[in-house]
A and B are shown apart, each in its own frame.
Chain A
Amino acid sequence: MKLIGMMMVIIVGGLLIVASEDMPDWGDPGSPASIHVSPRYIEKSEAETSVPNMVTAVLADYRGYDTLGETAVIFTAGVCCVLLLRRYRK
């Protein structure tokens, strides 16, 4: 069983290494991430949101729904921690 597990790890790891050859170079200006929405954020985020900090504009405005989800995740983590650990008086 251990041998099968080890084989699986090696095969999947090898596949991931082979697939990483197709990844764009680090900071490649022609990669899809750099040519799709990034130029718009860089050029227009201050004009559209009047926030000089582009990261804040993307985090809270363009991707506001994502940030709402993150906040809900943190809230759920806190509630779960209380539910699991807190002792209730009988």
Chain B
Amino acid sequence: MIERIEDVIIETLCRFLVPFMQLFALYVVAHGHYSPGGGFQGGCIMGASFILICVAYDIEEAKRRMTENLNTIFCSVGVILFAGTGLVSIALGGNYLDYSFLHKIIPVDPVSVRSHGILIIEIGVGFTVMAVMISIFLNVASKGKHEDELKQDGIHY
């Protein structure tokens, strides 16, 4: 159980750190074609930024910024984006996950459209990894209880 302890240094530091972490996460996902990185790593950094909010503030603060419903939607959208890209390439006449057929809807040549297809699925992977990281942390840290149940137990969090 994470209890709220007001600490100016930690809270201020995290308030400055979190936006840079999220920007770096987006960079890692978007720059995965040219440098080490990709959906898994970027999603992990993005999830870690929300976990840092949980640790520095409390779970309620993190839930205000990333509500559970939105998190669940992100979790599913990632997998749907990945699997959907495969299905779109079937619909356009190729094999499953054969991105070169996406050039019929993305106006670039069949070779460089593969890198765009890779970017789409990396974003999908990033969404899922981020949402699962946050959801596992929130559920383990709050023992899966709702806010009012925790308050009934006399636990301030």
Residue of B nearest to A64 (CB): B97
The answer to whether A86 and B115 have CB atoms under 8 Å apart is: no
Q: Closest approach, in angstroms, between the C-beta of B80 and any C-beta of chain A?
A: 10
The answer to whether B114 and A48 have CB atoms under 8 Å apart is: yes
The answer to whether A85 and B144 have CB atoms under 8 Å apart is: yes
The answer to whether A75 and B78 have CB atoms under 8 Å apart is: yes
The answer to whether A61 and B136 have CB atoms under 8 Å apart is: no
Q: Is A8 engaged at the interface, CB distance under 8 Å to the other chain?
A: no
Q: Is B16 engaged at the interface, CB distance under 8 Å to the other chain?
A: no
Q: Is B83 engaged at the interface, CB distance under 8 Å to the other chain?
A: yes
Please classify how large the interface on chain B is, using the bins under 10, 10 to 19, 20 to 34, 35 or more.
35 or more
The answer to whether B38 and A56 have CB atoms under 8 Å apart is: yes
Q: Which of B5-38 contact A (CB under 8 A)?
A: 32-36, 38
Q: Closest approach, in angstroms, between the C-beta of A79 and any C-beta of chain B?
A: 8
Set of chain B residues within 8 Å of A52, measured between Cβ atoms: 33-34
Q: Which of A31-90 contact B (CB under 8 A)?
A: 47-53, 55-57, 59-61, 64-65, 67-68, 70-72, 74-75, 77-79, 81-82, 84-87, 89
Q: Is the interface of A mostly helix, strand, loop or mixed?
A: helix
Contact with A along B113-130 (1 / 0, CB 8 A): 011011001101100110
Q: Which of B81-116 contact A (CB under 8 A)?
A: 82-83, 86, 96-97, 99, 111-112, 114-115
The answer to whether A57 and B118 have CB atoms under 8 Å apart is: yes
Bound Cα distance A75, B40 (Å): 12
Bound Cα distance A74, B36 (Å): 21
Q: Which of A50, A78, A82 contacts B114 (CB 8 A)?
A: A50
Bound Cα distance A53, B35 (Å): 7
Q: Closest approach, in angstroms, between the C-beta of A75 and any C-beta of chain B?
A: 5
Set of chain B residues within 8 Å of A60, measured between Cβ atoms: 38, 118, 121-122
Contact with A along B34-62 (1 / 0, CB 8 A): 11101010000000000000000000000
The answer to whether B146 and A89 have CB atoms under 8 Å apart is: yes
A-B contact pairs, 23 of them (CB 8 A): A48-B111, A48-B114, A49-B115, A50-B112, A53-B33, A61-B99, A64-B121, A65-B97, A67-B82, A68-B83, A68-B121, A70-B125, A71-B125, A75-B79, A77-B132, A78-B132, A78-B136, A81-B132, A81-B135, A82-B72, A82-B139, A86-B139, A87-B145
